[in-house]
Amino acid sequence: MDPGKNLLSIGETASRSGVAASTLRFYESRGLIRSLRVGGNHRRYHRSMLRRIAIIRVAQRLGLSLGEIGAAFATLPDQRTPTRKDWSRLSSGWGRQLDRRIAELQNLRARLNGCIGCGCLSMKNCTLYNAGDEASDLGSGPRYLLGDTPPQRAD
Ligand code: FES
């Protein structure tokens, strides 16, 4: 088989993936995809990059950052393109991450209900407002949104 048949120009890759050439160059600059350089320093992408690009797009739709996607790709041996089995593992981990985010957002939504129509934005009473970061002793992240309650105060 002609190895050149597996190489696509940036225009062909953009056309087949539905991703703009400028975005492909950006992904490449972030180490998410790779190209070979041929005469005239033109890029050629191996066909397997189409699968990587598809995974990047799906992961972005799930709300993952390019850094998180790159970290997931880095777990693959020799930076290979994810196989069906790899994709199953990655998507399963991302599914759990999505579940955690949904739970956090539901918690945030429930707390927001208490603020609607209130308007106090009180550091003492409002569980959404914590300008002084009084919850930092409880751990990292948005503690009150994660379920911790603000300390009771005597006014
Ligand atoms: S604005 Fe009053 S409790 Fe949040």
Average pLDDT, the chain: 85
* Residue with more model confidence, 140 or 73: 73
- pTM here is 0.71
- Region 119-128 average pLDDT: 79
**DSSP per-residue letters across the chain:** --GGGGEEEHHHHHHHHT--HHHHHHHHHTTSS--EEEGGGEEEEETHHHHHHHHHHHHHHTT--HHHHHHHHHTSGGGPPP-HHHHHHHHHHHHHHHHHHHHHHHHHHHHHHHHTTT----TTT-TT--TT-GGGGG-SS-TTTTT--PPP---
* Structure tokens that stand for 114 in this block: 């208490």
SS (HEC) of 42-65: EEEEECHHHHHHHHHHHHHHCCCC
pLDDT of 12 above 90 = yes
Question: Which of residues 27 and 75 earns the better pLDDT score?
Answer: 27
Residue nearest to atom 3 of ligand 1 (CA): 126
Give the distance (Å) from ligand 1 centre to CA of residue 84.
48
1 has a pLDDT exceeding 60 = no
Task: Enter the tokens of residue 42.
Answer: 């033109």
Report CA dihedral (127, 129, 132, 137) to the nearest 10 degrees.
30
Please report the domains of the chain, with CATH numbers, ordered by start residue: 3-82 (1.10.1660.10)
* Ligand 1 center–CA 22 separation, angstroms: 44
Tell how far the Cα of 112 is from the centroid of ligand 1, in angstroms: 8
The fraction of the chain above a pLDDT of 90, given in percent, is: 49
Instruction: State yes or no: pLDDT of 20 exceeds 60.
Output: yes
pLDDT tens readout for residues 50-100: 999 999 999 999 999 999 999 999 988 877 888 899 999 999 999 998 999
